[in-house]
Amino acid sequence: MKSIIVHGGAWDIPDDMLGDHRNGVSSALSAGWDILTNGGSALDAVQAAINKMEDDPTFDAGRGSFVNMAGQIELDASIMDGRTMRAGAVAAVRNILHPITLARAVMDKSEHVLLVSDGAMRFAREQDIPFCGADDLLVGREFERWKEIQTRPAYSGREAFAGSTNPGDTVGCVALDDQGNVASGTSTGGTPNKYPGRVGDSPIIGCGTYAVNSVGGVSTTGWGEAIIKVVLAKSIIDAIDMLKMTPEDAAQHGISILHSRVEGYGGVIVLTKKGKFGIAFNTPRMARAYMSDEISEPVVTV
Ligand code: ASP
């Protein structure tokens, strides 16, 4: 049984950006699905789908990411293998177009789970992960946003997220392959105008990403400072595992906890070991797409 689900962020995606989001999640889904249908692993499918969205300037991941308070782009990503429960993550890395590829290298080729900033970039050089120029990551839309924020006397990401409309185009994917292996991953440029060195939920295992073959996998998006506090991805897995919730109910349960306990906004995608999907969000829109052996064609929704 093969299944895959991707997301491209949860927020009040404006009408004139709907087409780009739809195309972006759709082509990421195809990249992952192609791997699964050719007998590839869930891990490879997750990495390929996320690489596609890191290349796509629509999303806050790789090219197109938000700019931090210091005018830099710092990226976070994580990946988890549900078969072995190995995980790899990087945070606050600069000049890397595909942070999920670096997170995978941390998982596969180091004895660590999370490397940050200069150490992560040193590891990238050792592993021959390509570097790019800052201009390869920066797009005009985000430069304009950053300049506009600098003109405000005070800008609070918290307040912006509290309105549930703060842009959030973090990307993620969960896949299940024919061998019954689940993998999950998430990649992001974080939040607009974040403090240099700020790390959100996306590279934190259990918060932005989680996968375990006996249950399933989750990737989350939304206000990272809130998601971390409720350990969102793992809470959803536990709801399926221990409370015997369906993936739909567990996804909804996760978003309810996020909102009721810490006033958080965001969205989650869930895939169980049986290939069943769950999606929930408390923002006006969420870009997502899924496909499995049980449906005849991909479902793409923004
Ligand atoms: N969760 C990401 C972060 O806080 C942002 C997002 O998902 O939009 O870094």
Identify the CATH number of the domain in which residue 118 sits.
3.60.20.30
Going by CA atoms, what residue is nearest to atom 7 of ligand 1? 221
221 Cβ inside 6 Å of ligand 1:
yes
Closest ligand 1 atom number to CA of residue 198: 9
Q: Give domain status of residue 20, yes or no.
A: yes
Contact, 108 vs 101, CB < 8 A?
no
Residues counted in the chain: 302
Closest ligand 1 atom number to CA of residue 227: 1
Q: Give domain status of residue 302, yes or no.
A: no
Question: What does the pLDDT read at residue 7?
Answer: 98
Question: What does the pLDDT read at residue 152?
Answer: 85
170 Cβ inside 6 Å of ligand 1:
yes
Q: Give domain status of residue 27, yes or no.
A: yes
Tokens in use for 196? 């240099």
Residue whose pair of structure tokens reads 């050792």 in the numeric block? 126
Burial of 39 (0-12, 13-18, 19+ CB in 10 A): exposed
Q: Give domain status of residue 247, yes or no.
A: yes
Chunked in runs of 10, what are the mean pLDDT values of the chain (302 residues)?
Answer: 97 94 98 98 98 98 97 98 98 98 98 98 98 96 93 73 72 98 98 96 98 98 96 98 98 98 96 98 96 97 96
Question: Which pTM value belongs to this model?
Answer: 0.97
Question: What does the pLDDT read at residue 85?
Answer: 98
Q: ∠ CA 285-289-291 to the nearest 5 degrees?
A: 155
Q: Give domain status of residue 64, yes or no.
A: yes
Question: What does the pLDDT read at residue 114?
Answer: 98
Closest ligand 1 atom number to CA of residue 208: 1
Question: What does the pLDDT read at residue 155?
Answer: 73
CA nearest neighbour of 6 among 283, 270, 273, 297: 270
Bridge partners of 291, per DSSP, are: 4
Domains contained in the chain, number = 1
58 Cβ inside 6 Å of ligand 1:
no
Question: What does the pLDDT read at residue 214?
Answer: 98
Range of the domain at 164: 3-295
Question: What does the pLDDT read at residue 187?
Answer: 98
Burial of 161 (0-12, 13-18, 19+ CB in 10 A): buried
Q: Give domain status of residue 300, yes or no.
A: no
Cα 171 to middle of ligand 1, angstroms: 9
Question: What does the pLDDT read at residue 154?
Answer: 75
201 Cβ inside 6 Å of ligand 1:
yes
Q: Give domain status of residue 301, yes or no.
A: no
Cα 215 to middle of ligand 1, angstroms: 24
Pairing between β-strand 86-93 and β-strand 114-116 as defined by DSSP bridges: parallel
Q: Give domain status of residue 16, yes or no.
A: yes
